[in-house]
Amino acid sequence: MRKKKTGRMTKIVLLISFIILVGRLLYAFIVAIPHHQEKRAASEQQTQQAHTDNQ
């Protein structure tokens, strides 16, 4: 009887850990998209400035 309760608690702890892991990955992915877009826009702007300076 004690063994079943321990196994159930282990499954609950693993489920909670998995939910936290997935949440952190989703958060990182959502935050990375605007950061990547800003970085790419800044890079394109520098490229355009260098191109106009060379002309």
Mean pLDDT by 10 residues, the chain (55 residues): 79 97 96 88 76 67
Query: What pLDDT score does 4 carry?
Result: 73
The pTM for the full model equals 0.62
Query: What pLDDT score does 48 carry?
Result: 73
* Residue 1, helix vs strand vs coil: coil
The encoded tokens of residue 33 equal: 């998209």
The encoded tokens of residue 43 equal: 């890079």
Q: In angstroms, rounded to a whole number, what is the distance separating the alpha carbons of residues 52 and 36? A: 24
Residue whose C-alpha is closest to residue 32's, from 40, 42, 21, 43 = 40
Work out the widest C-alpha separation in the chain, in whole angstroms: 82
The encoded tokens of residue 30 equal: 């959502």
